[in-house]
């Protein structure tokens, strides 16, 4: 945002959300379901996640549909400062509503009403789920909270320096490799964040592989880990509106008017994830389907150049200057 790469920021937001909806949970479902018929998800959290994910994704559809409607009526004069101002006001209102939705969902999860609530398992929940919940309640932390806080502070500092270096080198990498900005933001930048999750998955796989071959087999777990989906919900309901409000405070014209292609693939990813997790059960075949759809998105994005109108409306200069300069910020 400090470099005014707002279109790249938008693409990266969508890329991170789609990555945590498809690739990361898909690979975990494949790895975890390789030795069991199916894995179980927390039924209460799954139902709530469907609603939260849907409202977050549909909030992106509203500005896009609005823009498509006015563009069809008066396509010659739709890209101007007045239109941008209207979408900025619209986006800030939507951002506040999304933050309220996220806050209410956290309150519900941490202090739910009633006895059979979201924090308690359903009476008919699988036995493996009950055992997993009991183990979590009785487990002792492996690392002190103060060590975690110190490591978190160090990690944030390293990430800030790395992000600054990455932003400075983005333009050079794009020019040298001839990578489209859309693919750079939708796939390449988000995939870097997946390297840590991939490394952890490989380490656990190697660990259990050695235990298996040295006569210490570990029984396969039937409880699926869907934390990546929770992270995508957090990103779209909290961090995305937070960025909109931060841009408002810093005077950057960042809005929730995203590229039509980006909104379409986000809705498609939301539909697939909600469909796969509808019964609160997963298997490796469904995980492979999620990974395959992410590969389809990466393939199609390679040939996509983006909407020039969106890039012009996100320019830090006036829209007229951006149009005259061909959308270059």
pLDDT tens per residue, range 35-50: 555 676 766 677 788 8
Question: pLDDT: is 48 or 160 the higher one?
Answer: 48
Q: Is the pTM of this model over 0.75?
A: yes
6-71+79-111+146-324, CATH topology level: A middle domain of Talin 1 (1.20.1420)
99-108, 171-180, 266-275, 283-292 — which is least confidently predicted? 171-180
Query: How far from 48 is each of 125, 129, 159, 232, 300, CA to CA, in Å?
Result: 16, 18, 31, 14, 31
In the chain, where the domains are located: 6-71+79-111+146-324
Give the least confident one: 72-81, 181-190, 193-202: 193-202
97-101, 251-255, 281-285 — which is least confidently predicted?
A: 281-285
Which residue would you say has higher pLDDT here, 125 or 90?
Answer: 90
Q: Which pLDDT value is given to residue 246? A: 93
Q: In sequence order, which residues have a C-beta less than 8 Å from that of residue 12 and are 6 or more positions away?
A: 185, 186, 189, 190
Alpha-carbon distance 42 to 45, whole Å? 6
pLDDT confidence of 114, banded at 50, 70, 90?
low
CA distances from 132 to 40, 107, 138, 221, 222 (A): 11, 23, 10, 9, 9
Mean pLDDT score of the chain = 79
Rounded Cα–Cα distance for residues 233 and 50 (Å)? 9
């Amino acid at each position: 945002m400090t470099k005014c790469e707002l279109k790249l920021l938008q693409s990266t937001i969508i890329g991170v959300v789609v990555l945590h909806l498809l690739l990361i949970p898909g690979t975990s479902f494949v790895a975890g379901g390789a030795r069991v018929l199916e894995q179980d998800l927390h039924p209460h959290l799954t139902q709530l996640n469907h609603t939260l994910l849907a409202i977050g994704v549909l909030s992106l559809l509203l500005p896009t549909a609005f823009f498509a409607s006015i563009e069809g009526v008066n396509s010659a004069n739709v890209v101007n400062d007045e239109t941008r101002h209207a979408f900025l006001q619209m986006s800030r209102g939507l951002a506040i509503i999304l933050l309220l939705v996220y806050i209410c969902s956290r309150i519900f999860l941490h202090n739910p009403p009633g006895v059979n609530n979201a924090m308690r398992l359903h009476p008919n929940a699988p036995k493996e789920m009950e055992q997993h919940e009991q183990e979590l309640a009785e487990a002792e932390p492996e690392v002190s909270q103060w060590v975690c806080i110190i490591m978190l502070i160090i990690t944030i500092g390293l990430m800030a320096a790395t992000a600054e270096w990455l932003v400075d080198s983005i333009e050079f990498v794009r020019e040298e490799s001839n990578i489209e900005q859309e693919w750079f933001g939708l796939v390449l930048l988000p995939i870097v964040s997946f390297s840590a999750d991939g490394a952890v998955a490989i380490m656990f796989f190697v660990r259990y592989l050695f235990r298996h071959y040295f006569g210490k087999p570990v029984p396969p777990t039937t409880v699926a880990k869907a934390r990546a989906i929770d992270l995508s919900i957090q990103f779209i309901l909290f961090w995305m509106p937070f960025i909109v409000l931060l841009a408002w405070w810093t005077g950057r014209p960042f809005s929730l008017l995203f590229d039509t292609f980006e909104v379409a693939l986000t809705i498609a990813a939301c539909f697939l994830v909600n469909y796969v997790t509808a019964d609160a059960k997963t298997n490796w075949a469904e995980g492979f389907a999620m990974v395959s759809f992410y590969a389809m998105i990466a393939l199609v994005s390679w040939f996509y150049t983006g909407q020039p109108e969106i890039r012009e409306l996100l320019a830090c200069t006036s829209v007229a200057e951006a149009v005259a300069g061909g959308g270059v910020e």
